[in-house]
Amino acid sequence: MGSETPHVAHQVMAQAVREAYARGEEDEALEPLALVDRDGRPLGKIQGGDYVIFYNIRGEREVELTSSFVDPQFNEFPIEKEIRAHFATMIQYDENLDVRVAFPPLREIDHTLSQVISDHGLRQVKITESEKAIHLQFFLNGKMEEPFPGEERIVVPSPRVTDYTSVPEMNVAGVVGAVLEKIADPACDLIVANFVNVDVVGHIENEEAIKIAVETVDAHIGQVVEAAQKAGVTTVITADHGTVEKWLYPDGAIDTGHTDSPVPFFLISPDPLILRDGGALTDVAPTVLKLLGLPKPQAMTGNSLLQDIPADTTNTRRVLLLIVDGWGHRKESHGNLIAQARTPVMERLQEEYAFTTLEAAGKAVGMPEGTVGNSEAGHLHLGAGRIIHSDRLRIEEAIENESFFENEAFLWAMRGAKRDGTRLHLLGIVSFYSSHGSVDHLLALLRMAKREGLDEVYIHSMLGRRGEHPESGARYIQQVEEATAQLGAGRLVSVIGRFWSLDREENWDRIEKAYRWLVHGEARPVREVS
């Protein structure tokens, strides 16, 4: 091994994270940490000619940081122009990025709900806050960047704050205003809206703010349902996944992540329609098409939730699909912040109109068995009307059958670093539950680097509380440090909270902080143990 990367069992970075907890910091917004030598010089900084594997999945929050390294025209903040690192990414974050992609998209998903609506010459509009714009556009449309003919997109700016607990109402009023305007437009056939509050605020450990978010959403649902009924528009209400309906682990610790709960499905129609049970998110698109009187394409293997529609049913040909982001369904009240909040509108709708629940996690949304749902998979399956195997499932199968270790993008990075006499950096989240990636993927890359005989491998870890026990980040960092010592490969040299490194709303001050953490080692110093 190189003299800069001795392998020791000392868990100095894990201890540094624990000390950050003692200062009042938490995983999500953890200030950057960097391992330094005896002279205070940061170890493992990304330098010109180095190779980087950004092993996160999803991608919409990874684009900004990646761009700062690989886009020659990048000018959002000052960068070191001479540092041109070679990047490989786990999946495709953006087709315009100059990177090698380990698991490229298999193909575009065609015959989605949005495409079918467009192909039949109907008008549709997507309305949401900026916090969820990519989900209601890119993922709902089957990972298609551009809108279809006849598709309008309205993005209402989310509040520009560091902590949404200060404004748990967010900008739902702005979304509702746009929805009401489109309900009043008889030329708009399908309105799809997302109320983001419950999911966004639910990831923060603030019970009162979450209850305000739930109650705010409930009240605004009442507004749009009333307007839709007056205009003769059929309303479908569902969610992409659960969150705060299961806010406590069995041991009483707070769980700020997504859940494996089913989600509600309401149908508010002028006709007495009946819903079947046993559905999943893949059944929503076929149901909306049925309500609009349109045929379901053969590619949609999901089935309508409607029982046979009577011949005299009013065909309004106008539907409002309201996605109440993060609103899971759970009968138990213990640890259920939705049940503990005041939700008179949703309670009344469940009593008076057709109601069922839908599976929104695990294999039902193309994820490994037993995993929780997430916004990406939820919106993808709401729009696709069929099961789409997730990137996580593809990666885990590749690790199991060992094709992962022959992946051309990974080999390009590892053998390139060895050939060029430069270093390899492994960058990404350390978590088991995160929808952005898994510590298991990092450990697989470390085993591969060991096989390839790499001398200098540096690990830059991101922490995120979502779906984890409090202060779980230190446990993951310890796991990685133990793995590097056991393998005799790799060195964990820096840690940061994902708040700074994973952004999707052009908060460039945060990304600059992450960039300078990686390139300059600007962080709280952590002394290595000799």
User: DSSP per residue over 114-145, as a string?
Assistant: HHHHHHTT--EEEEEEGGGHHIIIIITTTS-S
Out of 362, 387, 412, pick the residue that ends a domain: 387
The predicted pLDDT at position 34 comes to 97
The predicted pLDDT at position 310 comes to 59
Residue from 148, 159, 253 nearest 507 by CA: 159
User: Are residues 254 and 467 in contact, defined by beta-carbon separation less than 8 angstroms?
Assistant: no
CATH of the domain at 31: 3.40.1450
Residue from 188, 201, 167, 174 nearest 122 by CA: 188
CATH of the domain at 143: 3.40.720.10
The predicted pLDDT at position 390 comes to 85
Instruction: Examine the domain organization and report whether 87 and 155 are in the same domain.
Output: no
Instruction: Examine the domain organization and report whether 366 and 399 are in the same domain.
Output: no
pLDDT tens, position by position, 216-243: 999 999 999 999 999 999 999 999 999 9
Q: In terms of residue numbers, what domain contains 91?
A: 12-104+393-527
Whether 2 is in a domain gets the answer no
Whether 5 is in a domain gets the answer no
Total count of domains within the chain:
2
Out of 352, 387, 422, pick the residue that ends a domain: 387
Instruction: Examine the domain organization and report whether 309 and 370 are in the same domain.
Output: yes
Instruction: Examine the domain organization and report whether 341 and 376 are in the same domain.
Output: yes
Half-sphere exposure of 280 (CA within 13 A, CB side): 24
Whether 57 is in a domain gets the answer yes
User: Are residues 313 and 291 in contact, defined by beta-carbon separation less than 8 angstroms?
Assistant: no
The predicted pLDDT at position 465 comes to 65
Instruction: Examine the domain organization and report whether 397 and 335 are in the same domain.
Output: no
Whether 422 is in a domain gets the answer yes
Q: Tokens 């391992």 label which residue?
A: 35
Instruction: Examine the domain organization and report whether 268 and 218 are in the same domain.
Output: yes
User: Are residues 366 and 383 in contact, defined by beta-carbon separation less than 8 angstroms?
Assistant: no
pLDDT tens, position by position, 353-403: 999 999 999 999 998 888 899 999 999 999 999 999 888 888 989 999 999
The predicted pLDDT at position 316 comes to 55
Out of 356, 372, 387, pick the residue that ends a domain: 387
CA distances from 356 to 283, 306, 371, 459 (A): 12, 11, 22, 46
User: Are residues 271 and 354 in contact, defined by beta-carbon separation less than 8 angstroms?
Assistant: no
Instruction: Examine the domain organization and report whether 44 and 122 are in the same domain.
Output: no
Whether 467 is in a domain gets the answer yes
CA distances from 101 to 73, 91, 490, 502, 504 (A): 21, 6, 22, 19, 20
For the four alpha carbons of 71, 76, 81 and 85, in that order, the dihedral sign comes to negative
Instruction: Examine the domain organization and report whether 373 and 397 are in the same domain.
Output: no
The predicted pLDDT at position 393 comes to 87
Instruction: Examine the domain organization and report whether 417 and 346 are in the same domain.
Output: no
Length of the chain: 530
Tens digit of pLDDT at every position of the chain (530 positions): 343 444 444 689 999 999 999 999 998 899 999 999 999 999 999 999 999 999 999 888 999 999 999 999 999 999 998 888 899 999 999 989 999 999 998 777 899 999 999 999 999 999 999 999 999 999 999 988 899 999 999 999 999 888 899 999 999 999 999 999 999 999 999 999 999 999 999 999 899 999 999 999 999 999 999 999 999 999 999 999 999 999 998 888 888 889 999 999 999 998 888 999 999 999 999 999 999 999 999 999 999 999 876 555 555 579 999 999 999 999 999 999 999 999 999 999 999 999 999 999 999 999 888 889 999 999 999 999 999 988 888 898 999 999 999 999 999 999 999 999 999 999 999 987 677 778 999 999 999 999 999 999 999 999 986 656 677 889 999 999 999 999 999 999 999 999 999 998 899 999 999 999 999 999 999 998 76
Residues 6+ apart with CB under 8 A from 403: none
Q: Are strands 86-91 and 51-54 parallel, antiparallel or unpaired?
A: parallel
User: Are residues 51 and 422 in contact, defined by beta-carbon separation less than 8 angstroms?
Assistant: yes
Whether 470 is in a domain gets the answer yes
326: left (phi over 0), alpha (psi -120 to 50) or beta: left
The predicted pLDDT at position 1 comes to 37
Whether 514 is in a domain gets the answer yes
CA distances from 266 to 203, 252, 275 (A): 25, 31, 9
Instruction: Examine the domain organization and report whether 245 and 365 are in the same domain.
Output: yes
CA distances from 448 to 290, 348, 365, 400, 441 (A): 50, 56, 30, 13, 11
Determine the Cα–Cα distance for residues 284 and 282; give it in Å rounded to an integer. 6
Instruction: Examine the domain organization and report whether 186 and 46 are in the same domain.
Output: no
Whether 4 is in a domain gets the answer no
- CA angle (301 as vertex; 299, 302 as ends), nearest 5: 130
Instruction: Examine the domain organization and report whether 464 and 373 are in the same domain.
Output: no
